[in-house]
Structure 1
Amino acid sequence: MIASVGLIGDPVKHSVSPAFQTAAFRHHGLPDTYMLWPTSTQELTTRVAGLRADGMRGANVTLPYKTAVVPLLDELDGIATAVSAVNTIVRRADGSLYGLNTDVLGFIQALRAAGGEPREADCVLLGAGGSARAVAYGLVMAGARSITVVNRTPERAEAMLADVLAATEFDPQLQVLASDAPEVAQAVAGAQLLINATSVGLDGRSSPLEAERIAPHLLVVDLIYRNTPFLQAARQRGARTQNGLEMLVQQGALAFEAWTGLTAPIAVMRAAAQQALEEQT
């Protein structure tokens, strides 16, 4: 077994990425094993530098480091540059590190698999971190009519949207609201897509939005790949829901192809991810 690739973040113990990425390596007869690399802020620079070693393929990056790793890399792809967030690092043959963002396309592919169509849609996005940047960019590029970003710190959301718009030629209607703003209820009521891109709910107890604000006509997406209180409340209100597992698999497949140059066995990866998640619950 070769520990050539892994997940950098804090925390990472909940991740099912090792299960489905290792399954993909085995499908292609490769000896690589995908590892979990819990990393403190103080350890991040050293951890990323370690990817330059011979035999390494790269890494995935999760909370809270998708933006923090950017200055530690040698080059970024166009999407990662646009959203200032990296979720995949590829070690090149010369030891240089190339940053990609596979969250954007992974999100759109997963959304459409659930019957959601972002084109001409009115969207409410909860959060303004690295994952939210990817979602916002994906929605803009897919032709969303409007995006309302709800965040505890409106200034952070405004900066995120400014970065996204500067990197595209699209011009959707945009709005930023504080999490406790009374206008949030109206924005959610008028939307077709409601997306949680925060970590609220990862503990299995909390929710980023009050249940009474969720309307039955919505498609509610939580990037957390579990049955969160947010999704439970949405279903009770009659809304359609999707957790983050399909996005995880889709973005993971794109990462696998970037590391190996091989076609990702998506069905194998999805089955392994689902099994790993069931074993955790």
Structure 2
Amino acid sequence: MEERKNRTFGLLGKDISYSFSRGYFTEKFKNLGFTKTKYVNFDIPKIDDFTTVINNDDSICGINVTIPYKEEVMPYLDKLDKTAKKIGAVNTIKFTKRGNLKGYNTDVVGFEKSISPFFKKHHKFALILGTGGASKAVAFALKRNNIKYKFVSRNPSSKKEISYQDLTEEIINKYNVIINCTPLGTSPNVNMCPAIPYQHLSEKHLLFDLIYNPELTVFLAKGKEKGATVKNGYQMLEIQAEESWAIWNQSK
């Protein structure tokens, strides 16, 4: 791949100094021998500041989106890829040659490819902890794999959502795939974890945490203690990052 001009890529989010994306892409560009390409953090306090970000730098070619803007950024986009439209959340934005902003969702591919090797025959029901943008991509992937799911929320607002107080032993036994889509446990708040009844976990459970820093969150450690299979979100992030890179470099 040839580097012809100055290009800027970046991550849009709030309080994102912890993020792996900038380090990942900076290393990638170094290995590619790119000196005119950079990856920066667009750390903004509110989504209204997004227009200022994109108007201030005409070298921006692509943006990744993280908490809490995966849904909030959508009204600012000109087009949506069909998968992103179905999911209702965007984590990748491409600046097209026509000057349009097009939204994609690479979380779904990242999650699906990293969790599917761990699925077993008895994994038919899943709990998704959290209801943000990432949880929508997780739900989309689970549906594609014929796994029925419920969202767990502090404030349930639909039939597909239950509260943490509703998590009985019976529910935990049945819903033996549990995915943490909340930020609870992310560095530096490494002692936190979602309030589920960990005592009911067993070796039949599969716990997946979208968090990758620390490598073993309290959520995963508590599952591991009970013999559950555990997986963090680092591979998911690598896969979605590479998917984003492919989208940004498409000629369209």
The interval holding the TM-score normalised by the smaller chain is 0.7 to 0.9
Identical-pair percentage: 30
Alignment check: 8 A CA contact 1:85 1:134 kept: yes
Aligned-residue Cα RMSD (Å) equals 2.3
| Cα shift at 1:191 | 2.6
Does residue 130 of structure 1 match 2:133? yes
| Cα shift at 1:21 | 1.6
1:219 to 201, 206, 214: 206
**Closer, same or farther in 2 for the Cα pair 1:143/1:119, shift >3 Å?**
farther
Does residue 198 of structure 1 match 2:182? yes
1:36 to 25, 32, 41: 41
Q: Which residue of 2 aligns with 1:276?
A: none
Aligned to 2:246, what secondary structure does the other structure show? helix
Deviation digits for residues 91-144 of structure 1, max 9, x if unmatched?
A: 01122101000001110001124x236997211111111010010011112221
Aligned to 1:19, what secondary structure does the other structure show? helix
Alignment check: 8 A CA contact 1:148 1:187 kept: no
**Where in structure 1 are there 5+ consecutive unaligned residues?**
159-174, 263-281
Q: In structure 1, how many angstroms separate the alpha carbons of the residues matched to 2:125 and 2:24?
A: 33
TM-score by length of 2: 0.87
Q: Which residue of 2 aligns with 1:235?
A: 224
Q: Which residue of 2 aligns with 1:258?
A: 247
Q: In structure 1, how many angstroms separate the alpha carbons of the residues matched to 2:122 and 2:144?
A: 9
Q: Which residue of 2 aligns with 1:154?
A: 156
**Where in structure 2 are there 5+ consecutive unaligned residues?**
none
Q: Which residue of 2 aligns with 1:161?
A: none
Aligned to 2:119, what secondary structure does the other structure show? coil
Matched residues, number: 241
Q: Which residue of 2 aligns with 1:278?
A: none
Higher helix share: 1
Q: In structure 2, how many angstroms separate the alpha carbons of the residues matched to 1:118 and 1:106?
A: 22
Bigger RCO of structures 1 and 2 (CA < 8 A, at least 6 apart): 1
Q: In structure 2, how many angstroms separate the alpha carbons of the residues matched to 1:154 and 1:15?
A: 29
Aligned to 2:41, what secondary structure does the other structure show? strand
Q: Which residue of 1 aligns with 2:62?
A: 58
Q: In structure 2, how many angstroms separate the alpha carbons of the residues matched to 1:192 and 1:47?
A: 44
Q: Which residue of 1 aligns with 2:161?
A: 176
